[in-house]
Structure 1
């Protein structure tokens, strides 16, 4: 009888512990935020590594009546405004959905 009681108590506390783990605070981190953000992607073609870097800047642009943050593509190790190419923009709405709108030739 005691072992049955101990198993019930142990099961009860394990269940409470599991619910406590699921109830941890969650802080949403937006993808489109202030400041310059840089992402790097790599691809291998014929044995050569190609590094593509994308930078989301604080510059705003208006596309079809909506405000987007400018998205640049560059291959240097740091972003250079003279050699970087604006490929479109990103925006995030109140429902935390992220939208990309490409410039001419970059629509995907």
Structure 2
């Protein structure tokens, strides 16, 4: 229809007939930003799903990625999610940074929590 012609008219002549441009590949920075956004908005399940997608795509999470998850889980008082992020961080061989340690100390304040945290560290 006319809409298709109109859209085609906006394509620069030098690009007509070329395949559409591909979106840039996601990076550790873009994934971490998306994970942080989800986590900060109370969508921890989505944040963890993004972490899994990141790993499937071969993008290696870094200390900031994991610390973001630990921090948000700790701020919400979700000890299990914080511990899960910490365990994943350790399994990936990423050093637990001071931010993550501090957040864990804040989150793990219930009976038996400190022993569990120390085991994970």
TM range (shorter): under 0.3
Greater gyration radius? 1
Superposition TM-score, scaled by structure 1 size: 0.24
* Structure with more of its chain in helix, by fraction: 2
* Structure with more of its chain in strand, by fraction: 1
